[in-house]
Structure 1
C-alpha cells in the first residue's frame, strides 16, 4: 500500500514575537509493501525514494519498519493484528530531510499507537511514543502529551510539552501539534487527503514543488531569517537527549 497526500502545513508562533506561515507539502503513507508506482522506490534511487535507514532508529542508522514492530512488541501492543505504516516526506532525488514523520499502528483501520519521529536541522533526532494504556483507538478528542526533550528551533527552549491531536484514517490526515511553554509555544498542523499514489501524481508534485526536501530546508531557514529580524531571542544549539525514545500519555 502506498498513498499520496497532497498536504498543507501551518505554523503559528505564540508569545511576544508572533509569526505564522502556511506551506504545501507532499507526503506518502506506506506499509513498505511491494506495490509502488514507477517514480518511487524503496531503498533505491529514483525521483522519489523511501529509505529504510532514514527511519526507525538513530538518524541515518534506521531499521525501517522492523524498528517500529520491535518497539510495539516490547510495549505489549498486539502487533500481529495491526497494520503498521509510515507517514513521511519521501526523499527527492538526492535530497532528504523530514522535520517530522509518523509511525502509526492501526487495528481495524483505527490508530492505536503512534511515534512522532522528530528531526532537527542540527542533526538530532528524538522519537515520542504515544498510546493509551490499554491501546484503545486514539481519536481526535484525545490529547496525547509528551515532554519536549530535543532542541528543534534556536528560537524555542528545550522545555514545556507537546500536545498531539491525532486525526488519521483511510481518507485523510489531520494532525495538530501544540507546543506549550508558559505563554510561548507553537501550533503546527499537517492535513490533507489520502489517495492511491500514481506516477502522474508524483510527477506533478515534483513539477509543482521542485526540490522536495531541499525546498523544506530552505523554507525553514527563511523563516529563521524572518524571526531573527523580528528580534526573537536566539539560543545556541542545545545538547541532544540521552535517549532516542520517550513516552507520552493521554491528558486527563
Structure 2
C-alpha cells in the first residue's frame, strides 16, 4: 500500500485485521489466555460497503453507528469521536475506527479504538471500553499539543471503569500503540501494585475484500458472539481458581477521561 493510511481510509477503503488477542492476569491468582479475533479498520464517514459488509444495515458483517460513540446503544459514531477530539483541541483529522463488527446482527466489542490520523501519523486515540453489564466508558490517549504517537510512547490513564468482576476499579492503564498501513499492535497494561493485567492485540492489515471476509466468517464463526462466550468461559475459569467477585459499582459520571 503506497498511499498513507489516512488517504486509504478517506478513499473509502476498509482494512481487515485477523488479530491475536492475549490477556494475562498478574498477582495472587494468575490467569492467561489467547484467541484470534477479526477487527476492521475504517473511516465510518467514508467507508464503501461491499457484498458481505454494510453500514447501518444488516449483513454478515456490519457497522452500526449507534453501537459506537456516545451512550451505549444510542451512539452517534464518528460525529461523537470528532467532537471529543475537537473538545481536546484536535481538528482537521481523519477519524477512523478499529473495532469488531456486528456478525449477523449480533454486537459486542470489549474495546474499540477511535483514531485521529493525519497521513500515517497517529495523533490521538479514544479507547472505547464496554463491559458485559451494559456499561461504557472511554479513555482519551494523546500527548499535549498532539505530536505523533510512536510505538515507544507510553500513554497513561487512571482506571475509573468497572470491566472485570474479579478486579477492583483502581490503578493505572499504560497504553502503547503501533500503527502503519500494513500492521497494527496495541498493548494495554493495568498496574495496581502487585496486581494487574496485560492485554495485547496485533495483526497484519489488508484490504477487506468479500473473499477475506468470507474466510474470516468460516474460520472464526460467530464473530462477536464467539468473543463473549470466550469472556464468560474465562470468567468461570477464574472463579474456579478462587478469584473473588466484586459487585457492580456505579459507572463514572464523565463519559470520557484521561
What interval of TM-score do these two structures reach, taking the shorter chain for normalisation? over 0.9
Correspondence 1:1-252 to 2 at 5 A:
1-32=13-44, 33-77=46-90, 79-80=91-92, 82-247=93-258
| Matched positions, count | 245
- Whether the aligned pair in 2 keeps the contact of 1:111 and 1:169 (CA below 8 Å) is no
- Whether the aligned pair in 1 keeps the contact of 2:62 and 2:105 (CA below 8 Å) is no
The structure 1 segments of at least 4 consecutive aligned residues displaced by more than 6 Å after TM superposition are none
- Whether the aligned pair in 1 keeps the contact of 2:129 and 2:137 (CA below 8 Å) is yes
Q: Deviations over 1:124-164 (max 9, x none)?
A: 10000011111000011111000111110011100001100
Q: What TM-score results when the alignment is normalised by the length of structure 2? A: 0.93
- State the 1:11 CA deviation: 0.4
Q: Alignment partner of 1:84: what SS? A: strand
Determine the C-alpha separation between the residues in 2 that align with 1:75 and 1:221: 36
Determine the C-alpha separation between the residues in 1 that align with 2:132 and 2:41: 23
Q: Alignment partner of 1:189: what SS? A: strand
Q: What TM-score results when the alignment is normalised by the length of structure 1? A: 0.95
Q: Deviations over 1:90-128 (max 9, x none)?
A: 000121000000000011211010000000001110000
- State the 1:2 CA deviation: 0.5
Q: Alignment partner of 1:223: what SS? A: helix
Determine the C-alpha separation between the residues in 1 that align with 2:239 and 2:208: 39
Q: Alignment partner of 1:121: what SS? A: coil
Determine the C-alpha separation between the residues in 2 that align with 1:168 and 1:115: 14
Q: Alignment partner of 1:154: what SS? A: coil
- Mean Cα displacement is larger for which, 28-37 or 145-154? 28-37
* Unmatched tracts of structure 1, length 5 or more: 248-252
- Whether the aligned pair in 1 keeps the contact of 2:55 and 2:64 (CA below 8 Å) is yes
- Whether the aligned pair in 2 keeps the contact of 1:2 and 1:35 (CA below 8 Å) is yes
* Unmatched tracts of structure 2, length 5 or more: 1-12
Determine the C-alpha separation between the residues in 1 that align with 2:94 and 2:120: 8
- State the 1:6 CA deviation: 0.8
